[in-house]
Amino acid sequence: MTENGAPLWLSAAAACVGALMASVFGFIIVCALQAALGGDAAALMGDAWRPDAGQYGIAPMVWATLVLSLSALALSWCLSLGCACFMRGLAPRGAARALGAVIRFMTAVPTVVYGFVSVFLLVPLVRRSLGGSGLCWLSAGLVLSLQILPAMTLVIDGALRAMEERTALTTAALGLSPAQSLAWIGLPASRRALLSAATLGFGRAVGDTLIPTMLAGNAVQYARTPLQAMRTLSAHIGLITSTDVTGQAYHSLFAAGGLLLFFSAAASLTVRRLKTQKEKSA
């Protein structure tokens, strides 16, 4: 047993996992710095990706990663808030339970299923309705918002449920309806949880690989409209890893991985900071 009462084998396992994760992060950071400091930093952050001309700029992919993640987050956060409110006071109990069961089921659906179904249903619909190939920012954003919705909804629902339990007697004494309690007490008091859900959703959207690879078109360009194709950093890593093992294109993976690690770490640290502040204020 250790000083904090945890079994020794459990502490050793935790230390091994921590060391393994630290080695992975260290490898990515060192390789990304080598790629950036090896005289190719300007080339890697350029606007053009033309391997036949020796140009390996990943700036369009950074743009694609941010705009796709933020657009999917904006849509999904609004839907998640609506679902959570629906389950916490705006719907009959039976409908709320049914929606909760659907949301929990969605957490178990593999990402590749969302992408596979969308290739045969959503992409042809976008192609026939709006033109283009259908493999574009719009298709990827819609499906990505659906993929990150369950986690965000459960976070918001958990916060609203906790607030509901703490204020049940007070709201009953004031004669507030469930909808009034939710609008005047639950949501204002759950601001940090709402922000935490958004940060969590952004982190999941930034790191998703399959949906951008299958639905975004994989064209390295600055997408200006939702019907244009794009390639995100995560899709770039998946595509290059499966085709190249040497050369400057392969080295660009480390710069892309370093940027993704930075985005994900920033989102995780933000969630942790918000959670700490919430615990201190509770």
- Dump pLDDT digits (tens) for 249-273: 677 777 788 888 888 788 778 777 7
The b-or-e profile of 65-102 (16+ CB within 10 A means b, else e) is bbbbbebbbebbbebbbebbbbbbbebeeeebeebbee
The pLDDT value recorded for residue 255 is: 78
> Could you report the per-residue pLDDT of 200-222, keeping only the tens digit for each?
888 889 888 889 999 999 888 89
- Note the pLDDT of residue 74: 95
- Answer yes or no: pTM beyond 0.85: no
- Please tell me the predicted confidence (pLDDT) of residue 125: 94
Assigned token pair, 282:
């509770």
